[in-house]
Amino acid sequence: MTYTKSRHIAPQLVKAYWHPLCLKSQVADDKDFVRFNVLDFEVVVFNDAGNLIAFDNRCPHRGTRFFTEDSGRQRILCPYHGWNYSAGQLRIPDAKSFVGCDIGKANLNFFKLAFCGDLVFFGIEPRATLIDQLGKDIYALIEQTTTHLQRAVDFNRYAFESDWPISLENALEPYHIPLVHRDTLATLKLGKGENVFFGENSIWYSPVENEKVARRLESLSKFFVPHEAFSGYMSIFLYPFSMLSSTYGYSWSMQNFFPSTHADRTWFTSQLYPLSAASDRYQEIVSTFMASTAQNNRAVFDEDHSICKRIPGDTWSWDAPRFHSSLEAKLLHFRASCAEWAQQAGAITTSDEDPV
Protein backbone atom coordinates (compact mmCIF):
# COMPACT_ATOMS: atom_id res chain seq x y z
CA MET A 1 0.00 0.00 0.00
CA THR A 2 1.29 3.44 -0.85
CA TYR A 3 2.30 5.58 2.07
CA THR A 4 0.33 8.79 2.50
CA LYS A 5 1.25 11.60 4.85
CA SER A 6 -2.35 11.84 5.96
CA ARG A 7 -2.19 8.48 7.71
CA HIS A 8 1.01 9.50 9.40
CA ILE A 9 -0.51 12.54 11.15
CA ALA A 10 -4.09 11.29 11.64
CA PRO A 11 -3.58 9.39 14.94
CA GLN A 12 -1.83 12.38 16.45
CA LEU A 13 -4.52 14.81 15.30
CA VAL A 14 -7.21 12.53 16.73
CA LYS A 15 -5.39 12.40 20.07
CA ALA A 16 -4.43 16.08 20.43
CA TYR A 17 -7.75 17.82 19.63
CA TRP A 18 -11.33 18.09 20.85
CA HIS A 19 -13.80 16.73 18.25
CA PRO A 20 -17.51 17.66 18.07
CA LEU A 21 -19.92 14.71 17.98
CA CYS A 22 -23.51 15.70 18.72
CA LEU A 23 -25.82 18.08 20.56
CA LYS A 24 -26.77 17.49 24.20
CA SER A 25 -30.40 17.19 23.02
CA GLN A 26 -29.51 13.94 21.20
CA VAL A 27 -28.58 12.33 24.50
CA ALA A 28 -31.00 14.25 26.72
CA ASP A 29 -32.67 11.24 28.38
CA ASP A 30 -31.39 8.40 30.53
CA LYS A 31 -29.67 5.66 28.41
CA ASP A 32 -29.62 7.73 25.18
CA PHE A 33 -26.48 7.12 23.15
CA VAL A 34 -24.78 8.06 19.88
CA ARG A 35 -21.89 6.12 18.39
CA PHE A 36 -19.04 7.17 16.08
CA ASN A 37 -16.11 5.49 14.33
CA VAL A 38 -12.70 7.13 14.46
CA LEU A 39 -9.59 5.43 13.05
CA ASP A 40 -9.85 1.83 14.33
CA PHE A 41 -11.89 2.58 17.44
CA GLU A 42 -15.36 3.78 18.44
CA VAL A 43 -16.66 6.54 20.66
CA VAL A 44 -20.02 6.31 22.38
CA VAL A 45 -21.59 9.31 24.12
CA PHE A 46 -24.04 8.00 26.72
CA ASN A 47 -26.49 9.55 29.17
CA ASP A 48 -25.77 7.73 32.43
CA ALA A 49 -28.67 8.75 34.71
CA GLY A 50 -28.32 12.39 33.66
CA ASN A 51 -24.53 12.42 33.53
CA LEU A 52 -22.92 12.37 30.06
CA ILE A 53 -20.00 9.98 29.62
CA ALA A 54 -17.94 8.92 26.60
CA PHE A 55 -16.24 5.57 26.26
CA ASP A 56 -14.86 3.16 23.65
CA ASN A 57 -17.89 0.83 23.29
CA ARG A 58 -15.92 -2.21 24.42
CA CYS A 59 -16.71 -4.41 27.35
CA PRO A 60 -13.77 -4.38 29.79
CA HIS A 61 -14.14 -8.15 30.27
CA ARG A 62 -13.25 -9.55 26.82
CA GLY A 63 -14.03 -6.71 24.46
CA THR A 64 -17.59 -7.31 23.21
CA ARG A 65 -19.07 -4.17 21.63
CA PHE A 66 -21.99 -2.88 23.72
CA PHE A 67 -23.75 -0.90 20.98
CA THR A 68 -24.07 -1.76 17.31
CA GLU A 69 -26.58 0.93 16.24
CA ASP A 70 -25.62 4.53 15.38
CA SER A 71 -27.88 5.91 18.11
CA GLY A 72 -30.71 4.83 20.37
CA ARG A 73 -31.77 4.26 23.98
CA GLN A 74 -30.35 1.18 25.62
CA ARG A 75 -28.57 0.04 28.78
CA ILE A 76 -24.83 -0.50 28.84
CA LEU A 77 -25.19 -4.27 29.16
CA CYS A 78 -22.81 -6.79 27.65
CA PRO A 79 -24.76 -9.62 25.98
CA TYR A 80 -21.85 -12.05 26.47
CA HIS A 81 -21.55 -12.48 30.27
CA GLY A 82 -23.74 -9.66 31.54
CA TRP A 83 -21.28 -7.03 32.73
CA ASN A 84 -23.21 -3.78 32.93
CA TYR A 85 -22.68 -0.15 33.85
CA SER A 86 -25.07 2.38 35.33
CA ALA A 87 -25.03 5.37 37.68
CA GLY A 88 -21.23 5.40 37.56
CA GLN A 89 -20.87 1.76 38.63
CA LEU A 90 -19.63 -1.29 36.74
CA ARG A 91 -21.51 -4.40 37.87
CA ILE A 92 -20.03 -7.86 37.35
CA PRO A 93 -22.10 -11.05 37.70
CA ASP A 94 -20.44 -13.55 40.04
CA ALA A 95 -17.60 -11.10 40.71
CA LYS A 96 -16.32 -13.44 43.47
CA SER A 97 -15.27 -15.95 40.80
CA PHE A 98 -12.62 -13.50 39.55
CA VAL A 99 -9.77 -14.61 41.78
CA GLY A 100 -6.09 -13.90 41.19
CA CYS A 101 -6.86 -10.70 39.26
CA ASP A 102 -7.59 -7.22 40.53
CA ILE A 103 -11.25 -7.19 39.51
CA GLY A 104 -11.83 -4.00 41.56
CA LYS A 105 -9.80 -2.12 38.93
CA ALA A 106 -12.13 -3.11 36.04
CA ASN A 107 -13.88 -0.13 34.46
CA LEU A 108 -14.99 1.27 31.12
CA ASN A 109 -12.34 2.93 28.99
CA PHE A 110 -13.46 6.56 29.18
CA PHE A 111 -12.76 9.51 26.93
CA LYS A 112 -12.87 13.14 28.01
CA LEU A 113 -15.91 15.33 27.26
CA ALA A 114 -16.21 19.10 26.92
CA PHE A 115 -19.11 21.34 25.92
CA CYS A 116 -19.56 24.56 24.02
CA GLY A 117 -23.19 25.64 24.36
CA ASP A 118 -25.06 22.43 23.52
CA LEU A 119 -22.33 20.97 21.31
CA VAL A 120 -20.61 17.92 22.81
CA PHE A 121 -16.91 17.32 22.10
CA PHE A 122 -14.77 14.30 22.97
CA GLY A 123 -11.03 14.23 23.52
CA ILE A 124 -8.31 11.69 24.24
CA GLU A 125 -5.36 13.82 25.34
CA PRO A 126 -6.31 17.28 24.05
CA ARG A 127 -3.37 19.66 24.18
CA ALA A 128 -5.54 22.75 24.79
CA THR A 129 -8.76 23.65 26.56
CA LEU A 130 -11.78 23.69 24.25
CA ILE A 131 -12.04 27.49 24.32
CA ASP A 132 -8.34 27.82 23.47
CA GLN A 133 -8.69 25.31 20.64
CA LEU A 134 -11.74 27.02 19.11
CA GLY A 135 -10.70 30.60 19.86
CA LYS A 136 -13.04 32.87 21.79
CA ASP A 137 -14.93 34.20 18.72
CA ILE A 138 -15.88 30.79 17.33
CA TYR A 139 -16.53 29.53 20.86
CA ALA A 140 -18.96 32.43 21.46
CA LEU A 141 -20.65 31.90 18.09
CA ILE A 142 -21.23 28.16 18.70
CA GLU A 143 -22.30 28.80 22.28
CA GLN A 144 -24.89 31.36 21.22
CA THR A 145 -26.15 29.36 18.21
CA THR A 146 -26.44 25.81 19.52
CA THR A 147 -28.72 26.62 22.44
CA HIS A 148 -31.59 27.42 20.01
CA LEU A 149 -31.26 24.26 17.95
CA GLN A 150 -33.62 21.29 18.01
CA ARG A 151 -32.75 17.59 17.96
CA ALA A 152 -31.10 16.32 14.78
CA VAL A 153 -33.72 15.73 12.05
CA ASP A 154 -31.28 13.98 9.76
CA PHE A 155 -28.43 11.61 10.60
CA ASN A 156 -26.63 10.69 7.41
CA ARG A 157 -23.70 8.34 7.71
CA TYR A 158 -21.58 6.33 5.33
CA ALA A 159 -17.95 5.69 4.56
CA PHE A 160 -16.57 8.05 1.92
CA GLU A 161 -14.36 6.01 -0.39
CA SER A 162 -11.57 8.56 -0.22
CA ASP A 163 -8.87 9.53 2.25
CA TRP A 164 -9.94 11.94 5.00
CA PRO A 165 -8.03 15.07 3.84
CA ILE A 166 -9.37 14.56 0.29
CA SER A 167 -12.94 14.42 1.64
CA LEU A 168 -12.36 17.35 3.98
CA GLU A 169 -10.57 19.63 1.51
CA ASN A 170 -13.48 19.25 -0.87
CA ALA A 171 -15.65 20.82 1.83
CA LEU A 172 -13.11 23.63 2.25
CA GLU A 173 -13.26 25.11 -1.25
CA PRO A 174 -16.16 26.48 -3.31
CA TYR A 175 -14.21 26.23 -6.60
CA HIS A 176 -15.84 22.84 -7.37
CA ILE A 177 -19.43 24.01 -6.81
CA PRO A 178 -20.36 25.04 -10.41
CA LEU A 179 -19.42 21.66 -11.90
CA VAL A 180 -19.95 19.14 -9.10
CA HIS A 181 -23.13 20.72 -7.70
CA ARG A 182 -24.52 22.15 -10.94
CA ASP A 183 -28.19 21.40 -10.15
CA THR A 184 -28.03 21.62 -6.34
CA LEU A 185 -25.81 24.03 -4.39
CA ALA A 186 -24.79 25.98 -7.51
CA THR A 187 -28.37 27.20 -7.97
CA LEU A 188 -27.91 29.45 -4.89
CA LYS A 189 -25.18 31.31 -6.82
CA LEU A 190 -22.97 31.66 -3.74
CA GLY A 191 -20.74 34.73 -3.95
CA LYS A 192 -16.97 34.71 -3.49
CA GLY A 193 -17.58 35.95 0.03
CA GLU A 194 -14.98 36.31 2.71
CA ASN A 195 -12.72 33.92 4.62
CA VAL A 196 -11.91 34.78 8.22
CA PHE A 197 -9.21 32.80 9.99
CA PHE A 198 -9.11 32.07 13.71
CA GLY A 199 -5.92 30.13 14.42
CA GLU A 200 -6.33 26.76 12.70
CA ASN A 201 -10.10 27.27 12.34
CA SER A 202 -11.84 29.41 9.77
CA ILE A 203 -15.20 30.76 8.64
CA TRP A 204 -16.38 31.37 5.10
CA TYR A 205 -19.17 33.95 4.75
CA SER A 206 -20.83 33.87 1.36
CA PRO A 207 -23.84 35.86 0.11
CA VAL A 208 -26.63 34.09 -1.80
CA GLU A 209 -26.50 35.93 -5.13
CA ASN A 210 -29.53 34.26 -6.70
CA GLU A 211 -31.90 37.09 -5.79
CA LYS A 212 -35.07 35.06 -6.13
CA VAL A 213 -33.75 32.36 -3.78
CA ALA A 214 -32.40 35.00 -1.39
CA ARG A 215 -35.80 36.74 -1.20
CA ARG A 216 -37.52 33.42 -0.56
CA LEU A 217 -35.06 32.49 2.17
CA GLU A 218 -35.34 35.90 3.84
CA SER A 219 -39.14 35.56 3.91
CA LEU A 220 -38.82 32.41 6.06
CA SER A 221 -37.35 34.37 8.96
CA LYS A 222 -40.71 34.92 10.68
CA PHE A 223 -41.23 31.19 11.17
CA PHE A 224 -38.16 30.85 13.40
CA VAL A 225 -37.26 32.17 16.84
CA PRO A 226 -35.54 35.54 16.60
CA HIS A 227 -31.86 34.89 16.00
CA GLU A 228 -28.73 36.65 14.96
CA ALA A 229 -27.29 35.05 11.87
CA PHE A 230 -25.34 35.90 8.77
CA SER A 231 -27.75 36.60 5.88
CA GLY A 232 -26.34 34.06 3.49
CA TYR A 233 -24.35 30.84 3.68
CA MET A 234 -21.67 30.40 6.31
CA SER A 235 -19.37 27.52 6.91
CA ILE A 236 -17.17 27.10 10.00
CA PHE A 237 -14.21 24.77 9.78
CA LEU A 238 -13.19 23.27 13.12
CA TYR A 239 -9.69 21.92 12.62
CA PRO A 240 -8.93 19.12 12.08
CA PHE A 241 -12.01 17.09 10.99
CA SER A 242 -15.31 18.98 11.28
CA MET A 243 -17.50 21.53 9.52
CA LEU A 244 -20.54 23.43 10.76
CA SER A 245 -22.54 25.23 8.12
CA SER A 246 -25.74 27.21 7.94
CA THR A 247 -27.95 29.09 5.51
CA TYR A 248 -29.48 32.18 7.17
CA GLY A 249 -29.15 30.39 10.53
CA TYR A 250 -32.40 28.44 9.92
CA SER A 251 -30.61 25.15 10.32
CA TRP A 252 -27.10 24.03 11.12
CA SER A 253 -25.47 21.09 9.47
CA MET A 254 -22.45 19.40 11.05
CA GLN A 255 -20.11 17.09 9.17
CA ASN A 256 -17.37 14.93 10.61
CA PHE A 257 -14.71 13.60 8.27
CA PHE A 258 -12.98 11.27 10.70
CA PRO A 259 -9.93 9.35 9.49
CA SER A 260 -10.07 5.61 9.13
CA THR A 261 -7.06 3.29 9.03
CA HIS A 262 -7.50 2.85 5.26
CA ALA A 263 -6.12 5.29 2.71
CA ASP A 264 -9.38 5.21 0.76
CA ARG A 265 -11.97 5.54 3.48
CA THR A 266 -13.28 8.44 5.59
CA TRP A 267 -15.79 7.95 8.41
CA PHE A 268 -18.33 10.53 7.28
CA THR A 269 -21.34 11.65 9.32
CA SER A 270 -23.63 14.58 8.59
CA GLN A 271 -26.31 15.77 11.01
CA LEU A 272 -28.92 18.47 10.49
CA TYR A 273 -30.21 20.61 13.38
CA PRO A 274 -33.18 22.94 12.82
CA LEU A 275 -33.51 26.26 14.58
CA SER A 276 -36.55 26.28 16.88
CA ALA A 277 -39.85 27.43 15.34
CA ALA A 278 -41.17 30.82 16.45
CA SER A 279 -44.32 29.14 17.75
CA ASP A 280 -46.08 25.75 17.68
CA ARG A 281 -48.24 26.77 14.73
CA TYR A 282 -45.10 27.17 12.59
CA GLN A 283 -43.69 23.77 13.53
CA GLU A 284 -45.14 22.06 10.49
CA ILE A 285 -43.77 24.68 8.07
CA VAL A 286 -40.36 24.36 9.73
CA SER A 287 -40.53 20.53 9.50
CA THR A 288 -41.39 20.65 5.80
CA PHE A 289 -38.56 23.09 5.12
CA MET A 290 -36.15 20.87 7.09
CA ALA A 291 -37.18 17.75 5.17
CA SER A 292 -36.31 19.47 1.90
CA THR A 293 -33.05 20.87 3.37
CA ALA A 294 -32.10 17.34 4.49
CA GLN A 295 -32.84 15.95 1.03
CA ASN A 296 -30.79 18.71 -0.67
CA ASN A 297 -27.88 18.21 1.72
CA ARG A 298 -27.88 14.46 1.04
CA ALA A 299 -27.76 15.09 -2.70
CA VAL A 300 -24.87 17.53 -2.25
CA PHE A 301 -22.86 15.04 -0.14
CA ASP A 302 -23.47 12.27 -2.65
CA GLU A 303 -22.08 14.56 -5.35
CA ASP A 304 -19.07 15.36 -3.15
CA HIS A 305 -18.52 11.68 -2.48
CA SER A 306 -18.66 10.83 -6.21
CA ILE A 307 -15.89 13.25 -7.06
CA CYS A 308 -13.76 12.53 -3.96
CA LYS A 309 -13.59 8.82 -4.69
CA ARG A 310 -11.90 9.60 -8.03
CA ILE A 311 -8.95 11.19 -6.19
CA PRO A 312 -6.19 8.79 -5.11
CA GLY A 313 -5.02 9.29 -1.51
CA ASP A 314 -1.38 9.56 -2.52
CA THR A 315 -2.09 12.87 -4.28
CA TRP A 316 -2.40 14.53 -0.88
CA SER A 317 0.36 16.15 1.08
CA TRP A 318 0.51 19.04 3.55
CA ASP A 319 2.42 21.07 0.94
CA ALA A 320 0.39 23.60 -1.07
CA PRO A 321 -0.77 22.22 -4.41
CA ARG A 322 1.40 23.45 -7.28
CA PHE A 323 -1.53 25.34 -8.84
CA HIS A 324 -4.11 26.91 -6.61
CA SER A 325 -6.98 29.36 -6.97
CA SER A 326 -7.80 32.17 -4.54
CA LEU A 327 -11.00 30.15 -3.97
CA GLU A 328 -8.79 27.50 -2.34
CA ALA A 329 -7.48 29.79 0.44
CA LYS A 330 -9.01 27.67 3.23
CA LEU A 331 -7.47 24.54 1.74
CA LEU A 332 -4.02 26.21 1.80
CA HIS A 333 -4.60 27.26 5.40
CA PHE A 334 -5.61 23.71 6.32
CA ARG A 335 -2.46 22.29 4.69
CA ALA A 336 -0.27 24.86 6.44
CA SER A 337 -1.83 23.83 9.78
CA CYS A 338 -1.12 20.16 9.01
CA ALA A 339 2.47 20.94 7.98
CA GLU A 340 3.13 22.97 11.10
CA TRP A 341 1.53 20.34 13.27
CA ALA A 342 3.48 17.53 11.64
CA GLN A 343 6.73 19.40 12.10
CA GLN A 344 6.05 20.05 15.78
CA ALA A 345 5.11 16.45 16.28
CA GLY A 346 8.19 15.26 14.40
CA ALA A 347 6.04 13.44 11.89
CA ILE A 348 7.93 14.55 8.77
CA THR A 349 9.87 11.66 7.34
CA THR A 350 12.70 11.83 4.84
CA SER A 351 10.97 9.83 2.13
CA ASP A 352 7.40 9.87 0.91
CA GLU A 353 7.68 6.20 0.16
CA ASP A 354 8.51 5.07 3.71
CA PRO A 355 6.02 2.46 4.79
CA VAL A 356 4.11 3.34 7.95
User: Using CB under 5 A as the criterion, which residues of the chain lie in contact with Fe ion when the complex forms?
Assistant: 304
13 binds ligand FES (CB under 6 A): no
Instruction: Pick from 17, 33, 55, 83 the residue near ligand FES by CB under 6 A.
Output: 83
Q: Judged by CB, which is closer to ligand FES: 82, or 178? A: 82
Instruction: Pick from 43, 59, 130, 294 the residue near ligand FES by CB under 6 A.
Output: 59
Among the residue ranges 59-67, 105-113, 176-184, 315-323, the one whose residues contact ligand FES (CB under 6 A): 59-67
Q: Judged by CB, which is closer to Fe ion: 124, or 329? A: 329
64 binds ligand FES (CB under 6 A): yes
What DSSP character marks residue 311? Answer: S
Report whether 333 contacts 214 (CB < 8 A).
no
78 binds ligand FES (CB under 6 A): yes
Q: Which of Fe ion, ligand FES, none does 304 bind, CB closer than 5 to 8 A by kind?
A: Fe ion
Number of helices (H), then strands (E), in the chain: 8, 17
For residue 91, the minimal CB distance to ligand FES (Å) is 11
For residue 191, the minimal CB distance to ligand FES (Å) is 55
108 binds ligand FES (CB under 6 A): no
Could you tell me which residues come within 8 angstroms of residue 240 by beta carbon, excluding any fewer than 6 positions away? 13, 17, 200, 337, 338
Report whether 180 contacts 174 (CB < 8 A).
no
Q: Which of ligand FES, Fe ion, none does 342 bind, CB closer than 5 to 8 A by kind?
A: none
Instruction: Pick from 2, 72, 80, 179 the residue near ligand FES by CB under 6 A.
Output: 80
Q: Judged by CB, which is closer to ligand FES: 81, or 215? A: 81
Q: Judged by CB, which is closer to ligand FES: 78, or 294? A: 78
Report the distance separating Cα 62 and Cα 46, nearest Å. Answer: 21
H helix intervals, the chain: 5-16, 130-134, 136-146, 164-172, 177-180, 211-219, 283-308, 329-344
61 binds ligand FES (CB under 6 A): yes
Report whether 75 contacts 49 (CB < 8 A).
no
What does the per-residue mask of binding to ligand FES show for 277-316, with x meaning CB under 6 A? ----------------------------------------
Helix (H) or strand (E) holding 84: strand 84-86
Among the residue ranges 54-62, 113-121, 144-152, 220-228, the one whose residues contact ligand FES (CB under 6 A): 54-62
62 binds ligand FES (CB under 6 A): yes
Report the distance separating Cα 84 and Cα 277, nearest Å. Answer: 40
**C-alpha torsion 119→124→125→130, nearest 10:** 0
Specify the 3-state DSSP secondary structure of 307: helix
Range 219-258, binding ligand FES (CB under 6 A): none
Buried b (16+ CB within 10 A) or exposed e, 120-129: bbbbbebeee
Terminal CA-to-CA distance of the chain, rounded, Å? 10
Q: Which of ligand FES, Fe ion, none does 88 bind, CB closer than 5 to 8 A by kind?
A: none
Q: Judged by CB, which is closer to ligand FES: 60, or 313? A: 60
Report the distance separating Cα 216 and Cα 144, nearest Å. Answer: 25
Binding interface with ligand FES (CB under 6 A)? 59, 61-62, 64, 78, 80-83
